[in-house]
């Protein structure tokens, strides 16, 4: 049975370094090689660096909340467990759909655009075997096979012991950091300070950069999903969340600085993969250096993909354990300790997007919708954090935030302000198509709620806490979240 003790026991194979690599890999990905030029020109070179620093501070507020909550509840399900403890049943069910949208959507993005990134990085991939058209784009058999083949490979690697995925993630992240250092110090040694002009382009450009940055900083929430498999003290798990945020800020700052020093404004504002053009100029057209940075950017995509599988499948395990989903999905391979059924579920769900081809409209729609869901999830986690400060002040918190009320309210205000951007009155509101997708997912969630969660899948609050393992958290108060 899916709820037997041996089937729901995950291994303890992730070190602190592996946790940071999972979070950092989920954040960094491949975006830097595509957007590095834009970040160094839209708000000015120094403006881009300051923009990431400010965003890092803001994301650190949310990260601090996640750090304390993850150290207190290091269980598969992460955000859902936090919401259950802080808000109650209904809040946890809403959270379930939000985080499922995020991790499935992000995995879809990696699967859909893998062939496109290959071609943009100079890897020859012919467009042959035209099948049909979707939203003005052609679906090619060649792209289809490459996407599903790589998705299957990532899924297969995750069916091995989690130690293997963690070690692969660490190696890939070290290569990513090496590429950033090569670009940064190459710019400092071989570049020209005059290339950095203009340092600022004005408030409009600066805030245009700021608006897009929280989306590029998301990913530290992968750590809560993987926390149950960590072989380190709970306090270290919390520290890993914060370290991940600032490691990402440092990485992006090195990319912007190296790009700004290595290429003038005309080059950096051009089309194509500007970062690779800058590397080519800095190192005299060295094919070796350009290949290494290109290889690192490709690995960046794979680190995000791998992190999606680690986080997304552990989310499914947590949801299945607590009967949000059928319990059979929580099956854990007794030999590898890998959640094989959850991995298959994520593989099938993410592979569906391949039938729509590498379509830019669908790509942007998925990104905007899952980003919208992520910010709402942030808000619910923060509200849970603030409520637990009041309901369970003596609860064990291995990583304890100083001035929790100040941090919590500041994080909530920041998140609500960012959420405003997606509304119809915001400067970057969702389109009608995107709102339609949100509506369809909401309708599906309501059907599942009334047809399953309120009937066959109904579980009392205390039983659900027991299934998730969060009831083991010691509290000095008898108060529990209100069940609604």
- What pLDDT is attached to residue 39? 84
- The predicted-structure confidence for 33-62, as pLDDT tens digits, reads as follows 878 888 888 888 888 888 878 878 888 899
> How large is the average pLDDT for residues 168-189?
91
Q: Is residue 478 part of a domain?
A: no
Most confident of the following: 147-151, 209-213, 324-328, 424-428: 147-151
Choose between 388 and 76: higher pLDDT: 388
Contact call for residues 339 and 317 (beta carbons, < 8 A): yes
The pLDDT of residue 474:
45
> Which domain, by its residues, includes 284?
6-472
pTM to 2 decimals?
0.84
Say whether pLDDT at 478 is over 50: no
Mean pLDDT over all residues of the chain? 85
| pLDDT tens-digit readout, 370-381 | 888 888 999 999
d(CA 49, CA 258): 11
pLDDT of residue 472: 62
Nearest-CA neighbor of 476 among 392, 398, 399, 400?
392
Please give the pLDDT value at position 382.
Answer: 96
HEC letters along the chain = CCCCCHHHCCCCCECHHHHHHHHHHHHHCCHHHHHHHHHHHCCCHHHHHHHHHHHHHHHHHHHHHHHHHHHHCCCCCCHHHHHHHHCCHHHHHHHHHHHHHHHHHHHHHHHHHHHHHHHHCCCCCCCCCEEEEECCEEEEHHHHHHHHHHHHHHHHHHCCCHHHHHHHHHHHHHHHHHHHHHHHHHHHHHCCHHHHCCCCCCHHHHHHHHHHHHHHHCCCCHHHHHHHHECCCHHHHHHHHHHHHHHHHHHHHHHHHHHHHHCCHHHHCCCCCHHHHHHHHHCCCCHHHHHHHHHHHHHHHHHHHHHHHHHHHHHHHHHHHCCCCCHHHHCCCCCCCCCHHHHHHHHHHHHHHHHHCCCHHHHHHHHHHHHHHHHHHHHHHHHHHHHHHHHCCCCCCCCCCCCHHHHHHHHHHHHHHHHHCCCCCCCCCCCHHHHHHHHHHHHHHHHHHHHHHHHHCCCCHHHHHHHHCHHHCCCCCCCCCCCC
> Is 477 a member of any domain?
no
Number of domains in the chain: 1
In a domain, 242, yes or no: yes
Q: Has residue 139 been placed in a domain? A: yes
* Average pLDDT score over residue span 256-280: 86
Residue 480 domain-assigned (yes or no): no
Q: Given pLDDT bands bounded at 50, 70 and 90, which one contains residue 256?
A: confident
Please name which of 18, 25, 16 lies closest in space to residue 302, comparing C-alpha atoms: 25
Confidence band (pLDDT; 50, 70, 90) for 65?
very high
User: Tell me, what's the pLDDT at 174?
Assistant: 93
Indicate the range of 15-29, 236-250, 423-437, 442-456 predicted with least confidence.
Answer: 423-437
* pLDDT surpassing 80 at residue 419: yes
> What is the mean pLDDT of the segment spanning 235-249?
88
Q: Is residue 479 part of a domain?
A: no
Residue 482 has pLDDT above 60, yes or no: no
Read off the pLDDT of each residue in 305-319 and give the average, rounded to a whole number: 90
Query: Is 347 within the bounds of a domain?
Result: yes
More confident residue, 420 or 9: 420
User: Where residue 3 falls among pLDDT bands split at 50, 70, 90?
Assistant: very low
Q: What local confidence, expressed as pLDDT, does residue 473 receive?
A: 57
Which CATH number fits the domain that encloses residue 205?
1.20.1740.10
Q: Say if 1 falls within a structural domain.
A: no
Per-residue pLDDT at 206 exceeds 80? no
């Amino acid at each position: 049975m899916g709820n037997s003790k041996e089937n729901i026991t995950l291994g303890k194979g992730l070190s602190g370094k592996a946790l940071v690599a999972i979070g950092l890999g989920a954040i960094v990905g491949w975006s830097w090689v595509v957007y590095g030029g834009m970040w160094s020109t839209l708000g000015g070179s120094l403006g881009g660096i300051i923009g990431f620093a400010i965003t890092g501070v803001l994301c650190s507020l949310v990260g601090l909340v996640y750090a304390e909550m993850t150290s207190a509840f290091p269980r598969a399900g992460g955000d859902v467990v936090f919401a259950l403890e802080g808000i109650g049943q209904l809040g946890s069910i809403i959270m379930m759909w939000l985080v499922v949208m995020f991790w499935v959507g992000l995995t879809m993005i990696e699967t859909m655009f893998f062939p496109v990134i290959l071609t943009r990085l100079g890897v020859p991939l012919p467009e042959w075997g035209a099948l049909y058209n979707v939203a003005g784009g052609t679906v090619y058999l060649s792209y289809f096979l490459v996407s599903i083949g790589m998705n299957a490979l990532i899924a297969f690697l995750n069916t091995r012991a989690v130690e293997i995925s963690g070690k692969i993630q660490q190696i890939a992240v070290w290569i990513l950091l090496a590429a950033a250092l090569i670009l940064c110090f190459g710019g400092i040694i071989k570049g020209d300070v005059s290339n950095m002009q203009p340092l600022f382009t004005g408030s409009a450009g600066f805030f245009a950069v700021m608006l897009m940055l929280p989306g590029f900083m998301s990913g530290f929430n992968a750590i809560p999903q993987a926390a149950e498999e960590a072989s380190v003290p709970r306090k270290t798990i919390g520290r890993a969340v914060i370290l991940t945020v600032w490691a990402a800020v440092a990485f992006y700052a090195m990319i912007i600085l190296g790009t700004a020093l290595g290429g003038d404004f005309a080059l950096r504002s051009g089309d194509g993969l500007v970062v690779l053009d800058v590397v080519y100029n800095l190192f005299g057209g060295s094919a070796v250096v350009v290949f290494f940075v290109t290889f690192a950017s490709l690995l960046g995509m794979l680190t995000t993909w791998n992190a999606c599988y680690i986080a997304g499948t552990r989310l499914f395990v947590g949801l299945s354990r607590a009967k949000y989903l059928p319990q059979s999905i929580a099956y854990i391979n007794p030999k590898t300790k890998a959640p094989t059924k959850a991995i298959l579920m994520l593989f099938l769900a993410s592979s569906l997007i391949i039938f729509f081809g590498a379509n830019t409209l669908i790509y942007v729609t998925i990104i905007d919708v899952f980003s919208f869901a992520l910010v709402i999830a942030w808000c619910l986690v923060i509200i849970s954090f603030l409520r637990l400060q009041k309901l369970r002040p003596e609860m064990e918190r291995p990583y304890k935030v100083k001035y929790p009320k100040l941090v919590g309210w500041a994080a909530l205000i920041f998140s609500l302000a960012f959420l405003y951007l997606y509304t119809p009155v915001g400067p970057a509101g969702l389109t009608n198509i995107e709102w339609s997708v949100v509506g369809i997912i909401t309708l599906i969630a309501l059907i599942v709620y009334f047809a399953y969660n309120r009937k066959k899948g109904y579980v009392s609050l205390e039983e659900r806490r027991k299934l998730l393992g969060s009831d083991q958290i010691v509290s000095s108060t008898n108060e529990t979240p209100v069940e609604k």
